[in-house]
Amino acid sequence: MSRNLYAAIGADAASARAQISALGPAPVNGVTPAIGEVLTWDGSAWVPAAGGGGGGVTSVGASGPLASSGGLTPDISIVNGVSIGDIIRWSGTKWVVYSPTAPVTSVGAASPLASSGGTTPSISLTAGTLPNDVLTWNGAAWAAAAWNLSAINQLTGDVTAGPGTGSQAATVKAFGGKIHWVVIGGNYASLQAAVTAAAANDLIIVGPSSSTWGDVTFPALKPLSVIGLGPQHASEIAIGKVTFSPSSGGTADDNEIWLCNLYISGTFVGAQGVRFDGTAPARLKLQGCFISNAGLSGDGVVVNNSGVGSSAYLDKCLFHAVGGNVTSTQVNHLQGYSRITGSDISDGLYAVACAAGQVDLSDVRMEYVVAGSVVNITGGTIAAQNVFVQNTIAGGSGLALAGTSVLILNNSVLDIAVGAGYCVRGVGGFLYGQINYTNNALLARNVKVQNTLTALPITQAFTLAP
Protein backbone atom coordinates (compact mmCIF):
# COMPACT_ATOMS: atom_id res chain seq x y z
CA MET A 1 0.00 0.00 0.00
CA SER A 2 1.39 3.38 -0.95
CA ARG A 3 2.33 6.03 1.50
CA ASN A 4 -0.12 8.37 -0.19
CA LEU A 5 -3.10 6.01 0.66
CA TYR A 6 -2.05 5.77 4.31
CA ALA A 7 -1.78 9.54 4.43
CA ALA A 8 -5.28 9.92 2.96
CA ILE A 9 -6.89 7.50 5.46
CA GLY A 10 -5.16 9.19 8.36
CA ALA A 11 -6.27 12.58 7.20
CA ASP A 12 -9.93 11.42 6.90
CA ALA A 13 -9.89 9.90 10.40
CA ALA A 14 -8.39 13.04 11.86
CA SER A 15 -11.02 15.13 10.10
CA ALA A 16 -13.83 12.87 11.48
CA ARG A 17 -12.52 13.15 15.00
CA ALA A 18 -12.26 16.87 14.63
CA GLN A 19 -15.84 17.10 13.41
CA ILE A 20 -17.15 14.91 16.32
CA SER A 21 -15.15 16.93 18.83
CA ALA A 22 -16.47 20.10 17.28
CA LEU A 23 -19.99 19.03 18.30
CA GLY A 24 -18.97 19.36 21.96
CA PRO A 25 -21.76 20.30 24.36
CA ALA A 26 -23.32 22.61 21.86
CA PRO A 27 -26.83 21.90 20.54
CA VAL A 28 -27.10 19.81 17.39
CA ASN A 29 -29.43 21.28 14.84
CA GLY A 30 -30.93 23.34 17.62
CA VAL A 31 -31.44 20.38 20.07
CA THR A 32 -29.36 20.23 23.26
CA PRO A 33 -28.43 16.53 23.94
CA ALA A 34 -29.05 14.82 27.31
CA ILE A 35 -26.84 12.18 28.92
CA GLY A 36 -27.14 8.86 27.13
CA GLU A 37 -28.89 10.21 24.03
CA VAL A 38 -27.72 9.25 20.58
CA LEU A 39 -27.90 10.93 17.22
CA THR A 40 -31.07 9.84 15.48
CA TRP A 41 -32.25 10.72 11.98
CA ASP A 42 -35.65 12.43 12.25
CA GLY A 43 -36.25 12.36 8.50
CA SER A 44 -34.51 15.61 7.63
CA ALA A 45 -31.61 15.98 10.04
CA TRP A 46 -29.63 14.23 12.75
CA VAL A 47 -30.83 15.25 16.20
CA PRO A 48 -30.13 13.94 19.74
CA ALA A 49 -32.74 11.43 20.99
CA ALA A 50 -33.10 8.63 23.57
CA GLY A 51 -31.66 5.25 22.49
CA GLY A 52 -33.86 2.12 21.94
CA GLY A 53 -31.93 -0.19 24.31
CA GLY A 54 -34.08 0.51 27.38
CA GLY A 55 -37.47 -0.41 25.90
CA GLY A 56 -39.04 -3.21 23.90
CA VAL A 57 -39.53 -3.33 20.19
CA THR A 58 -43.24 -2.61 19.73
CA SER A 59 -43.40 -2.82 15.97
CA VAL A 60 -41.42 -3.98 13.00
CA GLY A 61 -41.83 -2.35 9.67
CA ALA A 62 -40.70 -3.69 6.34
CA SER A 63 -41.23 -2.73 2.77
CA GLY A 64 -42.04 -6.28 1.91
CA PRO A 65 -43.83 -9.24 3.71
CA LEU A 66 -42.14 -10.49 6.94
CA ALA A 67 -40.77 -13.95 6.20
CA SER A 68 -38.68 -16.37 8.25
CA SER A 69 -36.64 -17.21 5.19
CA GLY A 70 -36.38 -13.66 3.88
CA GLY A 71 -38.36 -14.54 0.78
CA LEU A 72 -41.25 -12.62 -0.75
CA THR A 73 -43.96 -15.12 0.22
CA PRO A 74 -45.11 -14.50 3.83
CA ASP A 75 -44.97 -17.56 6.06
CA ILE A 76 -45.44 -15.88 9.46
CA SER A 77 -48.59 -14.01 10.47
CA ILE A 78 -48.80 -12.57 13.99
CA VAL A 79 -52.05 -10.87 15.01
CA ASN A 80 -53.41 -9.29 18.18
CA GLY A 81 -55.98 -10.91 20.50
CA VAL A 82 -54.20 -14.23 21.15
CA SER A 83 -54.81 -16.17 24.42
CA ILE A 84 -52.40 -17.58 26.97
CA GLY A 85 -51.09 -20.93 25.82
CA ASP A 86 -51.75 -20.33 22.12
CA ILE A 87 -49.17 -21.69 19.72
CA ILE A 88 -48.00 -20.98 16.19
CA ARG A 89 -49.25 -23.63 13.73
CA TRP A 90 -48.75 -24.02 9.98
CA SER A 91 -52.04 -23.56 8.14
CA GLY A 92 -50.80 -24.91 4.85
CA THR A 93 -49.82 -21.51 3.48
CA LYS A 94 -48.52 -19.62 6.50
CA TRP A 95 -47.90 -19.79 10.26
CA VAL A 96 -50.95 -18.66 12.29
CA VAL A 97 -51.95 -18.51 15.93
CA TYR A 98 -53.81 -21.66 17.13
CA SER A 99 -55.39 -22.63 20.48
CA PRO A 100 -54.37 -26.24 21.44
CA THR A 101 -57.15 -26.49 24.07
CA ALA A 102 -59.76 -27.22 21.46
CA PRO A 103 -60.74 -30.94 21.39
CA VAL A 104 -59.46 -33.13 18.57
CA THR A 105 -62.56 -34.17 16.65
CA SER A 106 -60.90 -35.91 13.75
CA VAL A 107 -57.62 -37.31 12.58
CA GLY A 108 -56.75 -37.09 8.95
CA ALA A 109 -54.05 -38.92 7.08
CA ALA A 110 -53.01 -39.23 3.49
CA SER A 111 -53.32 -43.00 3.81
CA PRO A 112 -55.38 -45.25 6.17
CA LEU A 113 -54.24 -45.33 9.79
CA ALA A 114 -52.38 -48.60 10.32
CA SER A 115 -50.36 -49.99 13.21
CA SER A 116 -47.73 -51.23 10.77
CA GLY A 117 -47.71 -48.17 8.56
CA GLY A 118 -49.21 -50.06 5.63
CA THR A 119 -52.10 -49.00 3.44
CA THR A 120 -54.60 -51.50 4.93
CA PRO A 121 -56.14 -50.16 8.17
CA SER A 122 -55.63 -52.48 11.15
CA ILE A 123 -57.18 -50.27 13.83
CA SER A 124 -60.78 -49.05 13.76
CA LEU A 125 -61.97 -46.75 16.54
CA THR A 126 -65.63 -45.77 16.46
CA ALA A 127 -67.91 -43.80 18.74
CA GLY A 128 -70.60 -45.39 20.87
CA THR A 129 -68.47 -47.98 22.65
CA LEU A 130 -69.52 -49.20 26.09
CA PRO A 131 -67.57 -48.96 29.34
CA ASN A 132 -64.96 -51.73 29.72
CA ASP A 133 -64.93 -52.50 26.00
CA VAL A 134 -61.56 -53.69 24.75
CA LEU A 135 -59.80 -53.70 21.39
CA THR A 136 -60.57 -57.06 19.77
CA TRP A 137 -59.21 -58.47 16.52
CA ASN A 138 -62.16 -59.36 14.27
CA GLY A 139 -60.05 -61.03 11.59
CA ALA A 140 -59.41 -57.90 9.55
CA ALA A 141 -59.01 -55.02 11.99
CA TRP A 142 -58.87 -54.05 15.64
CA ALA A 143 -62.29 -52.81 16.77
CA ALA A 144 -63.91 -51.95 20.12
CA ALA A 145 -66.01 -54.81 21.51
CA ALA A 146 -67.22 -56.25 24.81
CA TRP A 147 -64.76 -58.52 26.61
CA ASN A 148 -65.87 -62.05 25.71
CA LEU A 149 -64.32 -64.46 28.22
CA SER A 150 -65.77 -67.48 26.44
CA ALA A 151 -63.72 -66.59 23.38
CA ILE A 152 -60.48 -66.98 25.29
CA ASN A 153 -59.10 -70.44 24.64
CA GLN A 154 -58.38 -72.53 27.70
CA LEU A 155 -54.75 -73.01 28.48
CA THR A 156 -53.48 -76.46 27.65
CA GLY A 157 -50.08 -77.93 28.19
CA ASP A 158 -47.40 -76.78 30.59
CA VAL A 159 -46.29 -73.39 31.81
CA THR A 160 -42.60 -73.05 32.65
CA ALA A 161 -41.11 -70.16 34.59
CA GLY A 162 -38.67 -68.02 32.67
CA PRO A 163 -35.82 -65.88 33.97
CA GLY A 164 -38.14 -63.00 34.87
CA THR A 165 -39.04 -61.90 38.37
CA GLY A 166 -42.70 -60.99 37.85
CA SER A 167 -45.60 -62.40 39.86
CA GLN A 168 -46.39 -65.07 37.26
CA ALA A 169 -42.82 -66.33 37.22
CA ALA A 170 -42.69 -66.29 41.00
CA THR A 171 -45.94 -68.25 41.21
CA VAL A 172 -44.66 -70.93 38.87
CA LYS A 173 -41.29 -71.11 40.58
CA ALA A 174 -43.00 -71.62 43.92
CA PHE A 175 -44.07 -75.03 42.63
CA GLY A 176 -40.64 -76.04 41.43
CA GLY A 177 -40.68 -74.39 38.03
CA LYS A 178 -43.59 -75.97 36.17
CA ILE A 179 -47.39 -76.04 36.22
CA HIS A 180 -49.16 -78.90 34.41
CA TRP A 181 -52.60 -77.87 33.14
CA VAL A 182 -54.52 -81.10 32.57
CA VAL A 183 -57.56 -80.99 30.28
CA ILE A 184 -59.39 -83.69 28.39
CA GLY A 185 -57.96 -84.09 24.92
CA GLY A 186 -54.94 -82.03 25.93
CA ASN A 187 -51.40 -83.14 26.50
CA TYR A 188 -52.37 -85.71 29.18
CA ALA A 189 -54.93 -88.44 28.70
CA SER A 190 -55.36 -89.01 32.43
CA LEU A 191 -54.35 -87.68 35.81
CA GLN A 192 -52.04 -90.67 36.19
CA ALA A 193 -50.22 -89.62 33.01
CA ALA A 194 -49.70 -86.12 34.40
CA VAL A 195 -48.43 -87.49 37.72
CA THR A 196 -45.98 -89.74 35.90
CA ALA A 197 -44.67 -86.90 33.72
CA ALA A 198 -44.44 -84.33 36.50
CA ALA A 199 -41.26 -83.52 38.38
CA ALA A 200 -40.97 -83.07 42.13
CA ASN A 201 -42.80 -80.03 43.52
CA ASP A 202 -44.84 -79.49 40.35
CA LEU A 203 -48.43 -78.29 40.44
CA ILE A 204 -51.06 -80.25 38.50
CA ILE A 205 -54.31 -78.44 37.71
CA VAL A 206 -57.20 -80.67 36.64
CA GLY A 207 -59.44 -78.73 34.29
CA PRO A 208 -63.16 -79.22 33.64
CA SER A 209 -64.14 -82.42 31.95
CA SER A 210 -67.25 -84.53 31.57
CA SER A 211 -65.25 -87.69 32.21
CA THR A 212 -63.76 -89.27 35.32
CA TRP A 213 -60.01 -89.08 35.38
CA GLY A 214 -59.65 -92.58 36.83
CA ASP A 215 -57.59 -94.01 39.67
CA VAL A 216 -54.20 -92.52 40.46
CA THR A 217 -51.14 -93.76 42.36
CA PHE A 218 -48.55 -91.29 43.61
CA PRO A 219 -44.90 -92.39 43.65
CA ALA A 220 -42.39 -91.88 46.44
CA LEU A 221 -39.85 -89.06 46.47
CA LYS A 222 -41.98 -86.79 44.26
CA PRO A 223 -43.86 -84.12 46.26
CA LEU A 224 -46.84 -82.99 44.19
CA SER A 225 -49.88 -80.74 44.44
CA VAL A 226 -53.12 -81.47 42.56
CA ILE A 227 -55.93 -78.90 42.34
CA GLY A 228 -59.30 -79.46 40.69
CA LEU A 229 -61.21 -76.64 39.00
CA GLY A 230 -64.94 -76.48 39.52
CA PRO A 231 -67.47 -77.31 42.23
CA GLN A 232 -66.76 -80.16 44.62
CA HIS A 233 -69.78 -82.31 43.89
CA ALA A 234 -69.51 -82.49 40.12
CA SER A 235 -68.23 -85.02 37.65
CA GLU A 236 -66.21 -82.23 36.03
CA ILE A 237 -63.36 -82.82 38.45
CA ALA A 238 -64.08 -86.39 39.46
CA ILE A 239 -61.19 -88.76 39.96
CA GLY A 240 -61.12 -92.38 41.07
CA LYS A 241 -59.37 -94.00 44.01
CA VAL A 242 -56.12 -92.49 45.32
CA THR A 243 -53.15 -94.55 46.53
CA PHE A 244 -50.06 -93.14 48.24
CA SER A 245 -47.73 -95.80 49.64
CA PRO A 246 -44.17 -94.42 49.77
CA SER A 247 -41.47 -96.86 50.86
CA SER A 248 -38.41 -94.61 50.50
CA GLY A 249 -37.53 -91.08 51.46
CA GLY A 250 -35.63 -89.22 54.14
CA THR A 251 -38.35 -87.04 55.69
CA ALA A 252 -42.01 -86.25 55.27
CA ASP A 253 -41.01 -83.28 53.09
CA ASP A 254 -39.61 -85.76 50.56
CA ASN A 255 -43.00 -87.51 50.37
CA GLU A 256 -45.83 -84.98 50.48
CA ILE A 257 -49.03 -85.04 48.45
CA TRP A 258 -51.60 -82.23 48.53
CA LEU A 259 -55.03 -82.84 46.96
CA CYS A 260 -57.39 -79.87 46.75
CA ASN A 261 -60.96 -79.44 45.51
CA LEU A 262 -61.30 -82.93 44.04
CA TYR A 263 -64.34 -85.20 43.83
CA ILE A 264 -62.96 -88.60 44.83
CA SER A 265 -65.68 -91.03 43.92
CA GLY A 266 -66.25 -94.62 42.95
CA THR A 267 -67.19 -98.02 44.29
CA PHE A 268 -64.72 -98.64 47.09
CA VAL A 269 -65.64 -102.31 47.60
CA GLY A 270 -62.54 -104.23 48.65
CA ALA A 271 -60.46 -101.03 48.63
CA GLN A 272 -60.36 -97.48 49.96
CA GLY A 273 -61.20 -94.17 48.40
CA VAL A 274 -57.89 -92.77 49.63
CA ARG A 275 -55.21 -95.20 50.76
CA PHE A 276 -52.30 -93.72 52.69
CA ASP A 277 -49.84 -96.37 53.87
CA GLY A 278 -46.25 -97.39 53.23
CA THR A 279 -43.18 -97.37 55.47
CA ALA A 280 -41.41 -94.10 54.61
CA PRO A 281 -42.10 -90.83 56.46
CA ALA A 282 -44.80 -89.05 54.48
CA ARG A 283 -47.50 -86.40 54.62
CA LEU A 284 -50.94 -86.41 53.00
CA LYS A 285 -53.16 -83.33 52.76
CA LEU A 286 -56.76 -83.31 51.57
CA GLN A 287 -58.44 -79.91 51.39
CA GLY A 288 -61.91 -79.15 50.11
CA CYS A 289 -62.36 -82.68 48.77
CA PHE A 290 -65.57 -84.72 48.54
CA ILE A 291 -65.05 -88.43 49.24
CA SER A 292 -68.06 -90.37 48.03
CA ASN A 293 -68.41 -94.17 48.21
CA ALA A 294 -70.94 -95.65 45.81
CA GLY A 295 -70.41 -99.18 47.12
CA LEU A 296 -71.78 -101.03 50.17
CA SER A 297 -68.29 -101.60 51.63
CA GLY A 298 -64.81 -100.12 51.55
CA ASP A 299 -63.56 -97.21 53.68
CA GLY A 300 -63.30 -93.58 52.68
CA VAL A 301 -59.80 -92.65 53.89
CA VAL A 302 -57.40 -95.14 55.49
CA VAL A 303 -54.34 -93.81 57.34
CA ASN A 304 -51.85 -96.65 57.89
CA ASN A 305 -48.39 -95.23 57.20
CA SER A 306 -45.75 -96.56 59.61
CA GLY A 307 -43.03 -94.02 58.79
CA VAL A 308 -41.71 -91.96 61.66
CA GLY A 309 -43.43 -88.57 61.76
CA SER A 310 -46.04 -89.45 59.14
CA SER A 311 -49.29 -87.50 59.24
CA ALA A 312 -52.56 -86.91 57.42
CA TYR A 313 -54.49 -83.64 57.31
CA LEU A 314 -58.15 -83.56 56.23
CA ASP A 315 -59.50 -80.01 56.04
CA LYS A 316 -62.95 -78.86 54.94
CA CYS A 317 -63.80 -82.23 53.44
CA LEU A 318 -67.15 -83.94 52.97
CA PHE A 319 -67.55 -87.70 53.48
CA HIS A 320 -70.56 -89.61 52.18
CA ALA A 321 -71.60 -93.21 51.53
CA VAL A 322 -74.48 -94.58 49.52
CA GLY A 323 -77.67 -95.43 51.35
CA GLY A 324 -77.65 -98.93 52.80
CA ASN A 325 -73.92 -98.93 53.51
CA VAL A 326 -73.57 -100.05 57.14
CA THR A 327 -70.05 -101.47 56.98
CA SER A 328 -67.72 -98.66 55.89
CA THR A 329 -65.63 -96.33 58.06
CA GLN A 330 -65.22 -92.88 56.61
CA VAL A 331 -61.87 -92.12 58.30
CA ASN A 332 -60.11 -95.27 59.47
CA HIS A 333 -56.98 -94.30 61.39
CA LEU A 334 -54.75 -97.32 62.05
CA GLN A 335 -51.51 -95.61 63.10
CA GLY A 336 -49.57 -92.38 62.95
CA TYR A 337 -51.20 -88.96 63.31
CA SER A 338 -54.32 -87.49 61.69
CA ARG A 339 -55.95 -84.11 62.03
CA ILE A 340 -59.53 -83.53 60.81
CA THR A 341 -60.84 -79.96 60.75
CA GLY A 342 -63.94 -78.21 59.44
CA SER A 343 -65.40 -81.37 57.89
CA ASP A 344 -68.82 -83.06 57.65
CA ILE A 345 -69.03 -86.86 57.98
CA SER A 346 -72.06 -89.07 57.54
CA ASP A 347 -73.22 -92.56 56.53
CA GLY A 348 -71.58 -95.93 56.90
CA LEU A 349 -70.67 -97.81 60.08
CA TYR A 350 -68.35 -95.29 61.76
CA ALA A 351 -67.50 -91.67 61.09
CA VAL A 352 -64.05 -92.03 62.66
CA ALA A 353 -62.24 -95.08 64.01
CA CYS A 354 -58.91 -95.01 65.84
CA ALA A 355 -56.84 -98.14 66.52
CA ALA A 356 -53.49 -96.56 67.42
CA GLY A 357 -51.66 -93.26 67.29
CA GLN A 358 -53.62 -90.01 67.63
CA VAL A 359 -56.50 -88.28 65.91
CA ASP A 360 -57.33 -84.62 66.53
CA LEU A 361 -60.85 -83.44 65.69
CA SER A 362 -61.79 -79.76 65.51
CA ASP A 363 -65.00 -78.20 64.20
CA VAL A 364 -66.22 -81.53 62.84
CA ARG A 365 -69.88 -82.47 62.41
CA MET A 366 -70.87 -86.17 62.45
CA GLU A 367 -74.50 -87.11 61.84
CA TYR A 368 -75.53 -90.78 61.93
CA VAL A 369 -78.41 -93.19 62.30
CA VAL A 370 -76.68 -96.35 63.50
CA ALA A 371 -77.29 -98.90 66.24
CA GLY A 372 -73.65 -98.73 67.26
CA SER A 373 -71.44 -95.73 67.92
CA VAL A 374 -70.56 -92.84 65.64
CA VAL A 375 -66.91 -92.77 66.76
CA ASN A 376 -65.08 -95.95 67.72
CA ILE A 377 -61.83 -95.81 69.73
CA THR A 378 -60.17 -99.18 70.27
CA GLY A 379 -56.68 -97.82 70.87
CA GLY A 380 -54.66 -94.64 70.78
CA THR A 381 -56.09 -91.21 71.54
CA ILE A 382 -58.80 -89.00 70.11
CA ALA A 383 -58.74 -85.35 71.16
CA ALA A 384 -61.96 -83.61 70.11
CA GLN A 385 -62.88 -79.96 70.45
CA ASN A 386 -65.92 -78.10 69.13
CA VAL A 387 -67.41 -81.25 67.60
CA PHE A 388 -71.03 -82.20 67.07
CA VAL A 389 -71.96 -85.88 67.25
CA GLN A 390 -75.50 -86.96 66.46
CA ASN A 391 -77.09 -90.42 66.55
CA THR A 392 -80.83 -90.31 66.17
CA ILE A 393 -81.58 -94.04 66.51
CA ALA A 394 -82.77 -95.23 69.91
CA GLY A 395 -80.10 -97.40 71.47
CA GLY A 396 -77.28 -95.88 69.45
CA SER A 397 -74.31 -94.21 71.14
CA GLY A 398 -72.04 -91.30 70.42
CA LEU A 399 -68.46 -92.36 71.16
CA ALA A 400 -67.18 -95.76 72.25
CA LEU A 401 -63.96 -96.46 74.17
CA ALA A 402 -62.25 -99.79 74.68
CA GLY A 403 -59.02 -101.14 76.11
CA THR A 404 -56.59 -98.40 77.09
CA SER A 405 -57.84 -95.86 74.61
CA VAL A 406 -58.13 -92.21 75.58
CA LEU A 407 -60.85 -89.68 74.72
CA ILE A 408 -60.36 -85.98 75.38
CA LEU A 409 -63.60 -84.13 74.75
CA ASN A 410 -63.99 -80.39 75.20
CA ASN A 411 -66.65 -77.83 74.36
CA SER A 412 -68.67 -80.30 72.31
CA VAL A 413 -72.29 -81.36 71.85
CA LEU A 414 -73.50 -84.98 71.72
CA ASP A 415 -77.04 -85.26 70.40
CA ILE A 416 -77.90 -88.86 71.30
CA ALA A 417 -81.44 -90.25 71.26
CA VAL A 418 -82.85 -91.55 74.54
CA GLY A 419 -82.62 -95.32 74.79
CA ALA A 420 -80.18 -98.02 75.75
CA GLY A 421 -77.26 -96.14 74.22
CA TYR A 422 -74.87 -93.64 75.79
CA CYS A 423 -73.25 -90.34 75.00
CA VAL A 424 -69.97 -92.11 75.75
CA ARG A 425 -69.97 -95.90 75.93
CA GLY A 426 -66.92 -96.99 77.91
CA VAL A 427 -66.05 -100.67 78.18
CA GLY A 428 -62.56 -99.49 79.00
CA GLY A 429 -60.39 -96.50 78.35
CA PHE A 430 -60.10 -93.04 79.84
CA LEU A 431 -62.32 -90.03 79.39
CA TYR A 432 -61.29 -86.46 80.06
CA GLY A 433 -63.94 -83.86 79.41
CA GLN A 434 -64.94 -80.30 80.14
CA ILE A 435 -67.96 -78.16 79.22
CA ASN A 436 -69.82 -80.72 77.14
CA TYR A 437 -73.54 -80.82 76.51
CA THR A 438 -76.31 -82.87 75.07
CA ASN A 439 -78.54 -81.13 72.56
CA ASN A 440 -81.21 -78.85 74.02
CA ALA A 441 -83.94 -80.04 71.70
CA LEU A 442 -87.65 -80.45 72.36
CA LEU A 443 -87.14 -84.19 72.49
CA ALA A 444 -85.35 -85.58 75.50
CA ARG A 445 -81.73 -86.48 74.81
CA ASN A 446 -79.39 -88.98 76.38
CA VAL A 447 -77.02 -87.74 79.10
CA LYS A 448 -75.57 -91.08 80.18
CA VAL A 449 -71.91 -92.09 80.31
CA GLN A 450 -70.94 -95.75 80.71
CA ASN A 451 -67.65 -97.13 81.96
CA THR A 452 -66.73 -100.57 83.23
CA LEU A 453 -63.08 -99.75 83.94
CA THR A 454 -63.02 -99.76 87.74
CA ALA A 455 -59.52 -98.26 87.96
CA LEU A 456 -60.84 -94.93 86.73
CA PRO A 457 -64.59 -94.59 87.09
CA ILE A 458 -66.10 -92.10 84.68
CA THR A 459 -68.80 -90.17 86.43
CA GLN A 460 -69.15 -87.10 84.23
CA ALA A 461 -72.63 -86.62 82.83
CA PHE A 462 -73.60 -84.48 79.86
CA THR A 463 -75.91 -81.65 80.86
CA LEU A 464 -78.49 -79.92 78.72
CA ALA A 465 -77.10 -76.98 76.83
CA PRO A 466 -78.25 -73.66 78.32
What does the alpha-carbon distance between residue 64 and residue 71 come to, in Å, rounded to a whole number? 9
Q: Is the pLDDT of residue 17 over 80?
A: no
Would you call 371 exposed, middle or buried from its count of C-beta atoms within 10 A (0-12, 13-18, 19+)? middle
Q: Is the pLDDT of residue 163 over 70?
A: no
Q: What is the mean pLDDT of residues 219-235?
A: 76
Counting DSSP H helices and E strands in the chain, the numbers are 3, 39
Where are the domains positioned within the chain? 153-314, 349-466
What does the alpha-carbon distance between residue 87 and residue 38 come to, in Å, rounded to a whole number? 38
Q: Band the pLDDT of 465: cuts 50, 70, 90.
A: low
Q: Band the pLDDT of 106: cuts 50, 70, 90.
A: low
Q: What is the mean pLDDT of residues 134-144?
A: 78
Q: Are the CB atoms for 330 and 299 separated by under 8 Å? A: yes
Instruction: Show Cβ contacts of residue 429 under 8 Å, excluding neighbours closer than 6 positions.
Output: 377, 401, 402, 403, 404, 405, 406, 407, 451, 453
Residues forming a β-bridge with 217: 243
For residue 155, the SS3 value is: coil
| Residue of higher predicted confidence among 369 and 74 | 369
- Strand order in 256-260's β-sheet? 157-160, 178-182, 203-206, 224-228, 256-260, 283-287, 311-315, 337-341, 358-362, 381-385, 406-410, 430-434
For residue 238, the SS3 value is: strand
Q: Are the CB atoms for 194 and 188 separated by under 8 Å? A: yes
Q: What is the mean pLDDT of the chain?
A: 77
pLDDT tens-place string over residues 290-344: 999 999 999 999 999 999 999 999 999 999 999 889 999 999 999 999 999 999 9
